[in-house]
Structure 1
Amino acid sequence: MSEDRSVSRGLRQRHIAMIALGGAIGAGLFVGSGVGIAAAGPGIVVSYVVAGVLTVLVMRMLGEMSAARPGSGAFAAHATRAWGPWAGLLAGWMYWALLVVSVAAEAIGASRIVAGWLPQVPAWVWVAAFMALFTGTNLAGVRHFGELEFWFAGVKVASICAFVLLGAAAVLTGRTPATENLTAHGGLLPHGWHGVAVGTIAAVFAYGGLETVTIAAAECADPVAAVRRAVRTVLWRVALFYIGSMAVIVAVVPWDDPAVAGGPYAAAIGRIGVPGAAQLMNAVVLVALLSAMNANIYGSSRMLHALAARGDAPRLLTGRGGVEDSGGAGGGALVGAGRAVLASAAFGFGSVVLSLLWPRTVFPFLLNSIGTAILVVWILIAASYLRLHGRRQRRTDRQEQEHGQQQAASMWGFPYLGYGALAAMAGVLVFMLVDPGSRSQVLCTGAWTAVLLVVAGLRRYRRGPVAGPAVAAAPGAAPAVAAVTAPVRTGPGTGRPRS
């Protein structure tokens, strides 16, 4: 097994465990779910189940690949090994763009919440303060990031668990007319299956971000164990935090209540009768937004650093070849990743400035341009897994099992569930393309994809011919096998890939 030795090992198992539990819970769930409920009604539960199944399958595939070869490049590195440099460039830059634009959106949302409490302070001051805080935290070292995200994620997990328990108690004790809320406002599917499909799109974006745990796992002492634990808990996390909370919301409050669109969790808590529900949920959403900012600056910086290490981004972002700076109590911040942190945060802050200058044009365009980015990344993950896990890998698996070794976080039903996940994600993209409300997102992301593919083609032309993507080692493969199956590039300006 080959590990990325350019990263520090400052994260602890408890950091990874809590990031896995609550790291991806952000505005997409607390705020964006209102859009999905408005479209699907009670059928939003079906939407979250469908998207949740996709998420579990994608994370299982990603987990198997990451356990075999942990690294800060994560799925971009896997795509490179499976399909060649163009796929790694596309996956890495697509995910980086998704994260840095999300940082801007989260900073704006958080500033508006705090500005509502302290209207005498302009919102841009809070944006600057939040950006400076989390940029500094990520520059201080990965352990500082992990510790802050540990407590942020803890608050989110505790809040959702309390929400589900309170809602379930209200339904079971008859404090809320659950049956009437589910059936008396147009039925279980008030907008039919079309509404469920629109709700599925919102659910997919709410699940996006779970992939960051495989990036973070590369910076802990035992990355394979961290990936295994994180992936094995995905199923019940999806069931409790996402599907469970959606079921509580539509059972406690009518889906067409105007308050749901503004904040479904606050509307549900208000119906249950919790005092100060609106302000309480505002505080929880603020924590979720700040946590997502912190995690997205971290994830984008590590992805950018990995891109630079492969020559797909400016080399100066790798610093002294990505050498660990182990000084200080930060747990080992990367010199190169420090530069990548600054670059990613600068783009995020620039997006905030654009949103202030042209709120109706430029920033909505940025949001649309990454609207389906998570689906592109998921498709590349599934396609890479199916290519890497072939007959040669299964023979290697059998050889290692004879020596008493076991796979970590293996995928079920190979290859059928993998192909099924690919077909389902392609179906979501086709639906978005034909749906007038979602078409612009697909077209904008498609344009961004085309630009990246052109850049990849030009880079290949400059570097010379590529020896074709060799099939990488199977999960749990020995170092020698992993080394000989890495893609080899020839031509000027190329070097051997990291093992």
Structure 2
Amino acid sequence: MSTQSPRTGTAPPPGTAPAPSPEGLHAGLKNRHLSMIAIGGVIGAGLFVGSSSGIAAAGPAILLSYALVGMLVVFVMRMLGEMAAANPSSGSFSAYADRALGRWAGCSIGWLYWFFWVVVLAVEATAGAKILESWIPAVPQWGWALIVMIVLTATNLASVASYGEFEFWFAGIKVVAIAAFVGVGLLAVFGLLPGSDNPGAGFAHLTDAGGFFPHGYGAVLTGVLLVVFSFMGSEIVTLAAGESQNPQRAVAKATNSVIWRVAVFYLGSILVVLTLLPWNDKSIVEDGSYVAALNVIGIPHAGQVMNVVVLTAVLSCLNSGLYTASRMAFSLGRRGDGPQAFARTNSRGVPTAAILGSVAFGFIAVFFNYQWPDTVFLFLLNSSGAVALFVWLVICFTQLRMRAILLRESPDKLVVRMWLFPYLTWATIGMISFVLVYMLTDDSGRDQVILSVLVAALVVAVSVVRDRLRRREQGDGGTANSSLR
């Protein structure tokens, strides 16, 4: 099979339908959609609701935890950007692993990634339902979860442009909220904000309550475990690029901007929290880090303001999670590693069966979350918990092989290159592996690693067996599938 070439055409004239891609998808995502997906994709709901536990565990040193994970994300995105800019694909890293490492690798990581996101659908739907029920208790929590899932499913079924438009506004609200928080917070820290009732705010808070490392240097690694999963989602833009009007430009732009996105949204906002009040202030845990900071600044109804922002982040995650799971299922179907129905698109270029199949499992997971939250759903949650790190590892190993392939076949497509190759790639592999091993020493992370490894081993075993059976049926010893679909 021949390798598909990337689509680098311009936008279609106004009033015409988006051009179909070689995959059967439509290039319905505009540049502004891709830009906001790239910016907002790195801001998950975990940043808003999970940062307080990280601060409690590591104190001000949580900044180093965020910096270390942020550095990993920057490196991984640079590697993925190199491959995606050279050959945009709805299967992204799964399709590249298919070619560089073998069909078993692409199949395995594709299904594990799909599994991760359909479980996330249940988590986010429940989180959003809790907020909505607190506002309108007449509708039960399960009713809100159902409503949210149905609305976003309809959005994804309509067209890729409707997904992009919803995500543009969801991500826009997140970005504006974080930018405003950082801006107003810094004004308060420097005493330039009228009405702020926290005259003690300042950088002294970074060391005045037990020092910068109140729980010791090892707490930085504990903090890494608590914050690493809030970064998952930054890779979504490389899947979405396959349905954009200028995928190479979109991927290159997203890859080049990931450094400042991590610096401003994560490090900037956490720094503001830690300079507005001491890290051990009880309100950080009781109210949440951002709500506590807003209360200190004197923002009225801070809790409800943050609930609106968190709900937006949840809906954004749900919207993108369903899109991502369906496109991965679509790519797996095209490669013969999933149901053929997943590979079919309708007249609008929408993979209807892939979307419905993904959301069906999401609905099942939501039911498990309400029916057996501490048994069945906890197993699903833990068994998908370390998949993010597995994905990053696969991206690293794939890039090591893909660089040689691209240099041999089409060096002109290497418009984005990983820095200090291959040394920085190997260093990233070492850092991710260290995090996985360290998780085994942590009570909360051990179950996630063990169960995720067991599930991954099962998926890999099935993929390897299927690949060998397929080769045997072909009768020629088989060659690895070299098509990026």
TM beyond 0.5: yes
1:180 is displaced (CA, Å) by: 4.5
For residue 176 of structure 1, report the CA deviation from its aligned partner.
4.1
Task: Please give the residue correspondences for 1:164-313 in structure 2 after superposition, counting only pairs within 5 Å.
Answer: 164-173=182-191, 175-261=199-285, 262-313=287-338
Counterpart Cα distance in 1 of 2:124 and 2:81: 27
Aligned partner of residue 32 in structure 1, secondary structure: helix
Q: Give the C-alpha shift of residue 250 in structure 1.
A: 1.3
Distance in 1 (CA, whole Å) between partners of 2:252 and 2:481 is 32
User: Does residue 339 of the first structure (1) align with residue 353 of the second (2)?
Assistant: yes
- For 1:343 and 1:395, locate their aligned partners in 2 and report how far apart those are by CA, in whole Å: 38
The aligned residue for residue 353 of structure 1 is 367
Q: Percent identity?
A: 44
**What 5-or-longer segments of structure 2 have no aligned partner?**
7-20, 192-197
Deviation at 1:194, TM superposition (A): 2.0
| CA displacement at 1:56 relative to structure 2 | 0.3
- Aligned to 2:443, the other structure's residue is in SS state coil
Q: Per-residue CA shift, 1:410-452, capped at 9, x if unaligned?
A: 1111111101100000000010012222111100101111111
Q: What code does the residue aligned with 1:110 have?
A: G
Matched with 1:411 is 418
Q: Within 5 Å, give how 1:331-410 maps onto structure 2.
A: 332-334=348-350, 337-390=351-404, 393-394=406-407, 405=412, 407-410=414-417
Q: Is residue 150 of structure 1 aligned with residue 168 of structure 2?
A: yes
Question: Residues 466 and 87 (structure 1 numbering): CA distance in 2 closer, same or farther, change over 3 Å?
Answer: farther
Distance 1:134 1:280, change over 3 A: same
Q: Which residue of 1 aligns with 2:445?
A: 438
Confirm or deny: 8 A CA contact 1:100 1:296 kept in the other structure: yes
SS in 2 for 1:192: coil
> CA–CA distance in 1 between the matches of 2:212 and 2:66?
14
The equivalent of 2:10 in structure 1 is: none
> In the alignment, what sits opposite 2:15?
none
Q: Which TM-score applies when normalising by structure 2?
A: 0.91
Q: How far apart are the structure 1 equivalents of 2:57 and 2:223? A: 6
Tell whether 2:428 aligns with 1:421: yes
Give the secondary structure class of the aligned counterpart of 2:434.
Answer: helix
Q: Give yes or no for contact 1:489–1:495 (8 Å, CA) kept in 2.
A: no
Q: Is the 8 A contact 1:79 1:381 kept in 2?
A: yes
Following superposition, the deviation at residue 107 of structure 1 comes to 0.5
Secondary structure at 2:433's aligned position in 1? helix
Task: Specify whether residues 355 and 395 from structure 1 end up closer, same or farther in structure 2 by C-alpha distance, changes over 3 A only.
Answer: closer
Q: Secondary structure at the match of 2:416?
A: coil
Q: Distance in 2 between matches of 1:246 and 1:119?
A: 33
Alpha-carbon distance in structure 1 between the residues aligned to 2:236 and 2:406: 26
Answer whether contact 1:103 1:296 (CA < 8 A) is retained.
Answer: yes
Give the Cα–Cα distance (whole angstroms) in 2 for the partners of residues 235 and 379 of structure 1: 20
Which AA in structure 2 matches 1:410? R
CA distance in 1, matches of 2:226, 2:443: 15
Which AA in structure 2 matches 1:421?
T
The question of whether the paired residues in 2 share the 8 Å contact of 1:460 and 1:466 is answered with no
Matches within 5 A, 1:304-323: 304-319=329-344, 322=345
1:496 shift after superposition = 7.7
Query: CA, structure 1 residues 38+214, in 2 after alignment: closer, same or farther (shift >3 Å)?
Result: same
Against the structure 1 CA distance between its residues 41 and 99, is the aligned structure 2 distance closer, same or farther, given a 3 Å change threshold? same
Shift in Å at residue 393 of structure 1? 4.3
Q: Is the CA contact (8 Å cut-off) linking 2:128 and 2:311 kept in structure 1?
A: yes
- Kindly tell me the number of residue pairs found equivalent between the two proteins: 459
Change (3 A) 1:396 1:351: closer
Higher mean C-alpha deviation, range 280-289 or range 266-275: 266-275
Query: Measured at CA, do residues 489 and 257 of structure 1 come closer, stay the same or move farther in structure 2, by a change above 3 Å?
Result: farther
**TM-score, normalised by the number of residues in structure 1:** 0.88
* 1:455 has 2:462 as partner: yes
Query: Gapped runs of 5+ residues in structure 1?
Result: 327-331, 468-487
**Alignment match, 1:112:** 130
**Is the CA contact (8 Å cut-off) linking 1:176 and 1:272 kept in structure 2?**
no
Of residues 142, 158, 169 in structure 2, which corresponds to 1:140? 158
Q: Which secondary structure does the structure 2 equivalent of 1:490 belong to?
A: coil
| Residues 299-329 of structure 1 deviation map (CA, whole Å, 9 limit, x = unaligned) | 000001101111111112212xx4xx44xxx
User: Take 1:120 and 1:393, find their aligned partners in 2: how far apart are those partners?
Assistant: 58
Partners of 2:102 and 2:481 within 8 A in 1 = no
How far is the alpha carbon of 1:366 from its aligned partner? 1.2
1:129 corresponds to which letter in structure 2? I
1:102 is aligned to 2:90: no
- Give 1:40 shift: 1.1
Runs of 4+ with deviation above 3 angstroms: 392-397, 494-499
Q: 1:126: which partner in 2? A: 144
Matched letter for residue 306 of structure 1: S
How far the C-alpha of 1:181 sits from its partner, in A, is 2.6
- Give the superposition deviation at 1:267: 1.2
Question: Over residues 107-161 of structure 1, what are the superposed CA-to-partner deviations in whole Å (9 max), with x where a residue is unaligned?
Answer: 0000001111112221111000000000000000100000010011110000000
2:110, 2:477 → 1: CA distance? 19
Q: Residue by residue, what CA displacement relative to the aligned partner does 1:48-85 show, whole Å, maximum 9, x if unpaired?
A: 11001100000000000011111100000111111101
Give distance in 1, aligned partners of 2:477 and 2:141: 49
Distance in 2 between the 1:13 and 1:357 partners?
A: 42
Structure 1: distance between partners of 2:439 and 2:356: 34
User: How much does 1:291 deviate?
Assistant: 0.7
Q: Which residue of 1 aligns with 2:478?
A: 490
* Aligned-partner SS, 1:268: helix
User: Structure 1 residues 153, 217: CA separation in 2 closer, same or farther (over 3 Å shift)?
Assistant: same
Give secondary structure in 1 for the equivalent of 2:217: helix
